Chain A
Amino acid sequence: MLAKQVFYTQDLRIDRTNKKLVTEGVARVISESDKNAIEEAVRLKEKLGGKITVLTMGPAQAKEALREAIAMGADEGYMLTGPEFENSDAHATAFALAAGIKKIGQFDIVLCGETSEDQFSFQVGPRTAEILNIPQITYAIKIMIQDGKVVAERSLEDSYETVESKLPAFITVSREINEPRLPTLMAIMAASKKPMTAWTVADVGLKPSELGRDGSLTEPLKTAVATGERKRILIQGEPKEAAEKLASTLAGEGVVKVT
């Protein structure tokens, strides 16, 4: 099970002078759909038994994400950490995670969220599955294990799809799949006692050139802030009159069609 720690996006601001994100004092949390993935893993374990191992990649603070995942019901945690992993794009990240998964060993299912809240690339899951060379099911909203196979419902843009796969399989889950449980602060603190291991580049047998900027296929060229001004039109008057004015203004803007 893979999970990523991200900044709590609702508290992020952009410094207008240097166009950089202000991250100071902003809390770090597990990315939302990764929480759904952890919850689904815990529910599968409650039903079928087994063991849940969480793998994350990130700076030292990412340990908090492991603790939270363990507090939710995972059994152990591993993290890939070190400067070499920094600035990895989806490709390099998938590469590192796949190495981590191989090192952990035998598994039946790898679960992760469909995307992370900070990058929104939707790519890390599928890419990791490719590198591991196992079947993948993306955007799952329901997972059932039957006779050594996994049957999952996928949420596509305009339809649902039910697919079946042999195990081991790689599944990315959508937010709709469940309501993740919220561990109490005490449970998170108690989770520090569960086994957690940090791996460096060497531990998973990777070369620094395969990671970070060097290992990435993409390169950020420029950061820009998209600005949009509101029109700030205030319509006053009696409700009926105002409503008519509002309707005609909106129609004038071409936002609504008056029939």
Chain B
Amino acid sequence: MDIIRDVFQHVPLPFVIAWYAIGIISAYIFVVGIRRHLHAWKQGRAEQIQGTTLSRMRRLVYFGLVQAKILDKKYNGTMHALISMIGFLLLLGMFFPILESIVGYLALLFALGLILLEYKRLRATGPPLETAWEDSFVFGVIVAMAVSGFLMMGVNTWAWASPVGEVLSPLFAPLGPKVLVELYPTLFLIHSALVFSLIAYVPNSRLIHLITSPTNVYCAPITIKGEMTTPFDLKQMMESGNFDMKVGASEINDFTWRQKLSFDACTLCQRCSDACPAKAGGTKLSPMHLILKLKNLELQPPDTAKQLHGQTVDPEELWACTTCRACVQECPVLIHHVEAICDMRRHLMAEGKLDKKKRDLLTFLTTVGNTYGLGSSDRAKWAEGLDVKSYGDEPDQEFLYWVGCAGSYDTRNQMVSRALVKIMKAAQIKFGILGNEEKCNCEVARRLGEEGRFQQAAMELIDLMNKRGVKKIVTQCPHCYNTFKNEYPRFGATFQVIHHTQLIAELLREGKLKLRKRIEQTIAYHDPCYLGRYNDEYEAPRTIIRTLSNGRLVELPRSRTKSFCCGGGGGNTWYTVEAEKKCSVIRIDEARQLAPNILAAACPYCISMFEDASKALGTSDKMPIRDIAELVAEALE
């Protein structure tokens, strides 16, 4: 017959009373502690959580219960799953009758988790996690809890028939049944008291993530990845004439309650910072520490709390972010670091105290409509002699070719524009450009926090493109692509937007584009952030490379979702951030270990950044940097 362990089996009444007393006190301390957190979140701005309950529940199961992202890291994931999932089941076992044999096996698994954890602590592989004495204390309590649990199984004579009891019984038998029966309730109470004290300690320790992380996973917005939040509607404001609105986060309570909850959900796992290019480059930014600073600030009593800007967060931290989304991608509990950074940037922008380079950049956008500060009437110069039509000049034009600032003005990226023209002509695609009427779509202004300028550009460009009858846009810049595809629709755009790699892959598949030769060289592909992580386009570029190189595509150590930013996004191309090493140099260094013949990319920022880094490292000849369009154009000859 199976042995059932009931909650108060073999426990005399005084012990039961003590159990309840400790339990109630712990529950009280727990509730008071949780209320402190709830109170902190509630001070934030209002926010409606998005998505259906079902979609949020599904996500909770996927990221919370199944711990999908945590298990992504095998060792840490296994360890965490053993401790958290098994720990939860064991906790339930404290309150409900349960099969003794199941308790035994679960306890063994739990102990294995603890051993893995201790092994990790002693022999750190990779960068060590940050720990404080509280963490050692919590760990100690958990170990004591486990030890007392096993002692219970040994002392518990009636359960000696269970699998664990069978092994332990010879150790305890010599004490004699009388001693063991008296010892059991004491051990039971010690074990329970340890569990209860741990629960009471949850709100004041790192264990708060047991509550905050799943709550945040449930509440995190279900949105389009490439779309930043829209703090106001400029059009509406212009119509009403009311511009009185505070934009951006100037103090901690300017974040929404959901954002404040998300900061509180940080588990210090450090995955964001390990993936962060700004951190790797030695800038002041470390996404985890930024989030922790926000978390600490929101939990401070308001009268002693520091200022958000200046005292807690340094502007340089915020400007160092390339908005590459590696941190968000990595975070197992769905914290949105980039969103918080951009909210704080919006405040810096509203203050207007910018250095000259940022000021110049924004002035360029307003005056000449490009990021380079070059003449607006020189925008289409790159196309001279190529017989490129203006959009609207010819009937049946399928695409508006959106060249972008880099493709128009940067000599290196003009080569990509010319290559793309050659490809589209070879495939007999009818397309046109906006010529000198093309203007920066102000993606960069939005990411720097100048929302108004961005929305004005969106309204003007959508108006212009609608007048010209634009239906489909092709662009070589993933940033332009993302903004047109994911951000402009909110302002009324209905265009279909594709990236040049998607167009080329489709043309190759349909046989509309025929390669005359193959480039028989190993080609490594660098995933641009705004094409990969933001828009999940990993295959089109790879298909093209496989086709044109006869399958000689090689993968960089960090590729696809793990791709390492070139350092150019989020405005970083246009100003200087104090750093030890440039992201582009780190990436080129990584690529050259793999020693491909060519490093391919599909983004003007990546091309510019890597060209500079290659020159600095002297790898230009051994590993030239090419845009995929250039390779395809070459294979057409």
Contact of B237 with A by CB under 8 A: yes
Contacts of A184 in B (CB 8 A): 247, 349-350, 352, 450-453
- Stretch of A6-14, A149-157, A163-171 on the interface side: A6-14
Contact B368 A8 (CB under 8 A): yes
Contacts of B373 in A (CB 8 A): 10
Contacts of A11 in B (CB 8 A): 367-368, 375-377
- The answer, among B244, B349, B367, B456, for a CB contact under 8 Å with A8, is B367
Contacts of A186 in B (CB 8 A): 232, 234, 237, 243, 245, 247, 451-452
- The answer, among B245, B354, B367, B368, for a CB contact under 8 Å with A181, is B354
- Stretch of B119-127, B356-364, B461-469 on the interface side: B356-364
User: How far is the CB of B542 from the nearest CB of chain A, in Å?
Assistant: 39
Contacts A10-B367, A189-B237, A190-B244 given; indicate if A182 touches B376 (C-beta within 8 A): no
Contact of A237 with B by CB under 8 A: no
Contact of A29 with B by CB under 8 A: yes
Contact of B174 with A by CB under 8 A: no
CA distance A98 to B452 in the complex (A): 36
User: How far is the CB of A71 from the nearest CB of chain B, in Å?
Assistant: 9
Contact of A228 with B by CB under 8 A: no
Contact of A179 with B by CB under 8 A: yes
CA distance A179 to B352 in the complex (A): 10
* CB-based nearest A residue for B450: A184
B residues 430-452 touching A (CB-CB < 8 Å)? 450-452
* CB-based nearest B residue for A10: B373
* CB-based nearest B residue for A42: B352
B residues 580-614 touching A (CB-CB < 8 Å)? none
Contact of B301 with A by CB under 8 A: no
CA distance A184 to B452 in the complex (A): 7
Please count the residue pairs between chain A and chain B whose beta carbons lie under 8 angstroms apart in the complex.
Answer: 74
CA distance A187 to B351 in the complex (A): 10
A residues 1-52 touching B (CB-CB < 8 Å)? 8, 10-11, 13, 22, 25, 27, 29
User: How far is the CB of A236 from the nearest CB of chain B, in Å?
Assistant: 18
A residues 181-203 touching B (CB-CB < 8 Å)? 181-187, 189-190, 192-193
Contacts of A192 in B (CB 8 A): 241
Contacts of A25 in B (CB 8 A): 376-377
CA distance A185 to B377 in the complex (A): 24
Contact B352 A193 (CB under 8 A): no
Task: Please indicate which of the listed interface residues A13, A180, A186, A190 has the most CB atoms of chain B within 10 Å of its own CB.
Answer: A186
Contact of A62 with B by CB under 8 A: no
B residues 312-353 touching A (CB-CB < 8 Å)? 349-353
Contact of A72 with B by CB under 8 A: yes
Contacts of B453 in A (CB 8 A): 184-185
Contact of B397 with A by CB under 8 A: no
Contact of B366 with A by CB under 8 A: yes
- The answer, among A10, A27, A193, for a CB contact under 8 Å with B241, is A193
Contacts of B366 in A (CB 8 A): 27, 29, 185
Contact of B1 with A by CB under 8 A: no
User: How far is the CB of A122 from the nearest CB of chain B, in Å?
Assistant: 23
Contacts of B245 in A (CB 8 A): 186
Contact A182 B362 (CB under 8 A): yes
Contacts A179-B355, A182-B359, A189-B243 given; indicate if A10 touches B368 (C-beta within 8 A): yes
Contact of B238 with A by CB under 8 A: yes
CA distance A25 to B367 in the complex (A): 10
B residues 220-246 touching A (CB-CB < 8 Å)? 232, 234, 237-238, 241, 243-245
- The answer, among A8, A13, A27, A183, for a CB contact under 8 Å with B352, is A183
* CB-based nearest A residue for B352: A181
User: How far is the CB of B455 from the nearest CB of chain A, in Å?
Assistant: 8
A residues 134-153 touching B (CB-CB < 8 Å)? none
Contact A10 B356 (CB under 8 A): no
Contacts A29-B363, A190-B244 given; indicate if A182 touches B452 (C-beta within 8 A): no
Task: Report B's interface with A, CB cutoff 8 A.
Answer: 232, 234, 237-238, 241, 243-245, 247, 349-356, 358-359, 362-363, 366-368, 373, 375-377, 450-453, 456
Beyond the given pairs A13-B377, A25-B376, A186-B237, 14 more chain A to chain B contacts, judged by CB atoms under 8 angstroms and listed by A's residue number, are A11-B375, A27-B366, A29-B363, A29-B366, A179-B359, A182-B354, A182-B359, A184-B450, A185-B453, A186-B243, A187-B350, A189-B237, A189-B243, A190-B244
Q: List 15 A-B contacts (CB under 8 A).
A: A8-B367, A10-B367, A25-B376, A27-B367, A180-B359, A181-B351, A181-B354, A182-B354, A182-B359, A184-B349, A184-B352, A185-B450, A185-B453, A192-B241, A193-B241
